[in-house]
Structure 1
Amino acid sequence: MSQQTVGILHPGSMGAAVAACAAANAARVLWCTEGRSPASAARAEQFGLEPVATLPELLDQADTVISLCPPAAAEDLAAEVASHGFGGWYVDANAISPERMRRIEEMLSSHAKAVVDGGVIGSPPVNGKSPLLVLSGPAPAVARVEALFVDTAVRTKTLGTTIGQASALKLAYASFQKTSRVLVALSIGLARAHDVDQELLDIASQRTDSYLAEPEYVAKTAARAWRWGPEMEEVADTLEAVGLPSEMLRAAATTLARWDDAKDGELTLTDALTRLAQP
């Protein structure tokens, strides 16, 4: 067993499940209760994470901190960690642009032993799911992170030593995986408005591996829109940074914003399409 003490920021559906996998190889896995919701507390308890009262208390005890939060909060959270002079290993596994990842490295570098760039590709590691955690950064630091997930449901892949590589791969994958589901919602919504949605699904079902033949994903997409929309903005920023057009990803983010109030809810297909048609 690794002797690392790990702090998770913050235990959302992905963060809590990833932290539980790390617990298999760590001495302790901590989370901070201050300002967190009852849902976060329930998840942390479900996965056996150890509570501490405040962020400074967590940072004092943790060797390695893993940040898994909504993309928009990643820099503010890193800045808060930096303000406390955290001197351990910091892993940012959020869906953010390489540019933002490099800014996070810079703000933490004066105190932290190392910063690791990470990205989770796939669903939370529960119910047989086995996501891939891609990593880049200083080799010794990356090796410490990999050691936390040996023989767990979280697979790891090291891409190199350059900060930004893992973030770029995560966003490249997300640009297709998530915008394709937004397009499904628009396709089905258009067909339903003209009372031909069943015909559309019949045609799509004749093709293999088509999201369009699986309308249940529309409701799932709506429930995740509050997280996916900001992620699409990160993809758009990253496209622009290398001279590629970003309009489609900006439009996907705008479309997802129509579902913001459906945060992690249980929606039917009809509910999701009704909200999509109402700005």
Structure 2
Amino acid sequence: MDRQTVGVLHPGSMGAAVAACAATNAAAVLWCEAGRSTASAARAKQFGLRPVATLTALLQRSDIVISLCPPAAAEDLAREVAEHDFTGVYVEANAINPERTRRIADLLDPAATVVDGGVVGSPPVHGKSPTLYLAGQVTATEQIETLFADTAVRTKVLGTDVGQASALKLAYASYQKASRVLVALAVGLAHEHGVDQELMSVASRRTDSYLAEPGYIATTAARAWRWGPELEEAADMLADVGLPPEMLRAAASTLARWHDVKDDSELTLADALARLAQP
């Protein structure tokens, strides 16, 4: 199969790293400069992505488009793509619930092929190897498997039903991210009563517990702007199937206390706990 051109929307920390892996087997990997931040430009340059000036140019040149953006923006981004009559393979890889994924599939040109995707794991840098789960038309999922063959991004096809990959991603995220929120609350509660060091001593006897990793609370805070909407998506998914969504909505509400420290890599545990204790 001839190498194909890939467009990535948009190169955040995950999107840029995944796109760089795609470059191993692609003819080129493009990103659109219009409206993006200097941080996005720096990431794209770091990972060797080729800039184009407009979304129109990206879509005209791309055989495959991979959408990796904040969950709230996924449908608006798909609408923009739909306005350009894109007819290639569109990988909807955002952390959104299956119903939204199916809506996006309906938005695009009937000649386009939507592949449902869900990335589980950390960005593929520094030895990390996430899995991109896929669901959709067989020939299209095979194209994506070929695109990431022998790279740090593993792929696994779940089936042909659009929504399966999204469901798996959010089911995992509902546990993993809500668990981190519970750790922050437990440590915050102990800290307010002056027994946080003793709590850490107790937790250290259970090294298989997230509670033994209090240092990750600051990382959780810095990612709260992304994690909160993911948990809201997962809560919607629970409600859709008759399961109680309240726990995940509460976790999302807790994460909202950290929205003003977006991607702050210098945030300390003490700072994160102080912000958590103030409405």
Q: 1:206 to 1:22 in 2, by over 3 A?
A: same
> 1:2·1:147 contact (CA, 8 Å) conserved in 2?
no
1:232 and 2:241 are equivalent in the alignment? no
For 1:156, the equivalent position in structure 2 comes to 155
Question: How far apart, in 1, do the equivalents of 2:13 and 2:207 lie?
Answer: 30
With normalisation by structure 1, the TM-score equals: 0.98
1:220 and 2:219 are equivalent in the alignment? yes
For 1:106-151, what per-residue CA distance to the aligned partner results, in whole angstroms no more than 9, with x for missing partners?
0114241x10000000000000000000000000000001111000
1:93 and 2:93 are equivalent in the alignment? yes
Question: How far apart, in 1, do the equivalents of 2:142 and 2:8 lie?
Answer: 18
> 1:2·1:25 contact (CA, 8 Å) conserved in 2?
no
For 1:39-83, what per-residue CA distance to the aligned partner results, in whole angstroms no more than 9, with x for missing partners?
000000000000000001100000000000000000000011001
Q: Percent of aligned positions with the same letter in both sequences?
A: 73
Secondary structure of the residue aligned to 2:223 is: helix
For 1:36, the equivalent position in structure 2 comes to 36
Question: How far apart, in 2, do the equivalents of 1:2 and 1:136 lie?
Answer: 23
For 1:185, the equivalent position in structure 2 comes to 184
Question: How far apart, in 2, do the equivalents of 1:115 and 1:226 lie?
Answer: 27
For 2:168, the equivalent position in structure 1 comes to 169
For 2:6, the equivalent position in structure 1 comes to 6
Structure 1 unaligned regions, length at least 5: none
Question: How far apart, in 1, do the equivalents of 2:149 and 2:206 lie?
Answer: 38
> 1:120·1:132 contact (CA, 8 Å) conserved in 2?
yes
Secondary structure of the residue aligned to 1:206 is: coil
Deviates more, 1:247-256 or 1:204-213: 204-213
Name the amino acid aligned to 2:133.
V
> 2:9·2:32 contact (CA, 8 Å) conserved in 1?
yes
Q: CA deviation at 1:277?
A: 1.1
> 1:8·1:15 contact (CA, 8 Å) conserved in 2?
yes
Where in structure 2 are the equivalents of 1:55-74 lying within 5 Å?
55-74=55-74
> 2:7·2:58 contact (CA, 8 Å) conserved in 1?
yes
Question: How far apart, in 2, do the equivalents of 1:268 and 1:242 lie?
Answer: 39
For 1:227-258, what per-residue CA distance to the aligned partner results, in whole angstroms no more than 9, with x for missing partners?
00000000000000100000000001100011
Q: CA deviation at 1:3?
A: 1.4
> 1:230·1:253 contact (CA, 8 Å) conserved in 2?
yes
> 2:85·2:109 contact (CA, 8 Å) conserved in 1?
no
Structure 2 unaligned regions, length at least 5: none
Where in structure 2 are the equivalents of 1:15-30 lying within 5 Å?
15-30=15-30
Name the amino acid aligned to 2:224.
A
> 2:215·2:269 contact (CA, 8 Å) conserved in 1?
yes
Question: How far apart, in 2, do the equivalents of 1:204 and 1:215 lie?
Answer: 9
Question: How far apart, in 1, do the equivalents of 2:206 and 2:59 lie?
Answer: 51
Q: 1:56 to 1:246 in 2, by over 3 A?
A: same
Name the amino acid aligned to 2:5.
T
Q: CA deviation at 1:2?
A: 4.7
Q: CA deviation at 1:30?
A: 0.1
Q: CA deviation at 1:173?
A: 0.4
